[in-house]
Structure 1
Amino acid sequence: MSLNVVHLVGRAGRDPEVKCFESGSVLCTFTLAVNRPTSKNDEPDWFNLKIWGKTAEVAANYVRKGSLIGIQGTLTIETWTDDKTGTERSTPVIRVDRLDLLGSKRDADSSAVGGYGSSNSEF
């Protein structure tokens, strides 16, 4: 049996970047800072997020730098060849399937707070 599920709660490290493709697909990318509860220093762990489709549109409209969010997704490793050196490079990326807007009502429109993703029947 294999299992690849990631659950994280943290704050957006920057405003989302949105790309719209000719096919109609929407991609949203940004970073997520997650504090370790046992860490003695104040350095968070940083995660690169990729969100597609309707959930990406929700993220683009409601997530801003510093927004508290929860995500569920899968861990992927993206690889590419460095143009300058020709060496293979890689980076971990979380492909988000579900996004929960966790900020207070002051942080976001109260109608937007909730969960969005492939498991949500609204989309």
Structure 2
Amino acid sequence: MSINVVTLIGRVGTDPDIKYFESGSVKCKLTLAVNRRTRDGEHTDWFNLELWGKTAEVAGNYVRKGRQIAIKGSLKFDTWSDRQTGATRSSPVIQVDQLDLLGSKRDGDGDMSDSSPEHF
């Protein structure tokens, strides 16, 4: 049996980078900051996120830098050859399957009257 599930809650570090392809596919890239408690205090981990299809469109329309979101997806590795050395490089990416918009619709303005998550 194999399990590859990642669940994170954090704040978006960049505005969405949306790409539309001729095939009709939509791709969105984001970064997510997640705080982790350590013995020395708190440490921020940064994750690269990749969203596709309707989830990517929702992120493009509703997610902005600083917005709190929850995601569920799987870990994958983007691999490429370094142009200078020819060495194989890789970078971890979270392939997002589920996106929840947390906080109020006007996240950060102090109005938490609509605090239920929006699920996509």
Q: Does TM-score exceed 0.5, indicating one fold?
A: yes
The Cα shift of 1:101 comes to 0.2
Q: Greater share of strand residues, 1 or 2?
A: 2
| Count of residue pairs the alignment pairs up | 113
- Per the TM alignment, residue 28 of structure 1 is displaced from its structure 2 partner at its CA by 0.1
Cα drift, residue 49 of structure 1: 0.2
More moved, 88-97 vs 78-87 = 78-87
- Give the Cα–Cα distance (whole angstroms) in 2 for the partners of residues 60 and 26 of structure 1: 10
Paired position in structure 2 for 1:93 = 93
Identity %: 62
Give the secondary-structure state (helix, strand or coil) at the position aligned to 2:70.
Answer: strand
Q: Give yes or no for the alignment of 1:115 onto 2:107.
A: no
Distance 1:103 1:26 in 2: 26
- 2:32·2:47 contact (CA, 8 Å) conserved in 1? yes
TM-score scaled by length of structure 1: 0.85
Q: How far apart are the structure 1 equivalents of 2:16 and 2:24?
A: 18
TM-score, structure 2 normalization: 0.87
Unaligned runs of 5+ residues in structure 1 are: 117-123
Q: Where do 5+ consecutive residues of structure 2 fail to align?
A: 109-113
